[in-house]
């Protein structure tokens, strides 16, 4: 069973310059991810980037479910925090 902080570290270490907010109950997690690599990328490509960062844990079953609620560039994040 994983903790939200572990999932956060996986995402942030797998995506250079990213910031993640992760919540969850040990099996099901929700994440907001802000990453410069999302610039110019459609939503599906953004999902693929995050999924690739956690693929090993998903494949092993250590990470059961990850819902990516918002995937934003730093500029989009700043605009929403406005």
Q: Which domain holds residue 25?
A: 4-81
Per-residue pLDDT of the chain (82 residues; tens, 9 = 90+): 899 999 999 999 999 999 999 999 988 999 999 999 999 999 999 999 999 999 999 999 999 899 999 999 999 999 998 7
pTM (2 decimals)?
A: 0.94
**Total domain count for the chain?**
1
Residue 82 pLDDT: 76
Determine whether 57 is exposed, middle or buried from the number of CB atoms within 10 Å of its CB (0-12, 13-18, 19+): middle
Q: Alpha-carbon distance 3 to 58, whole Å?
A: 14
- Return the CATH number at 22: 3.30.300.90
Helices (H) and strands (E) in the chain, counts: 4, 3
Residue 1 pLDDT: 81
């Amino acid at each position: 069973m994983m903790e939200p902080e572990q999932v956060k570290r996986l995402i942030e270490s797998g995506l250079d310059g990213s910031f993640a907010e992760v919540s969850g109950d040990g099996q099901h997690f929700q994440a907001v991810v802000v990453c410069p690599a999302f610039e110019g990328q459609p939503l599906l490509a953004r999902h693929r980037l995050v999924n690739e960062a956690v693929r090993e844990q998903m494949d092993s079953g250590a990470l059961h479910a990850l819902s990516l609620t918002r995937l934003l560039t730093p500029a989009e994040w700043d605009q929403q925090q406005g």
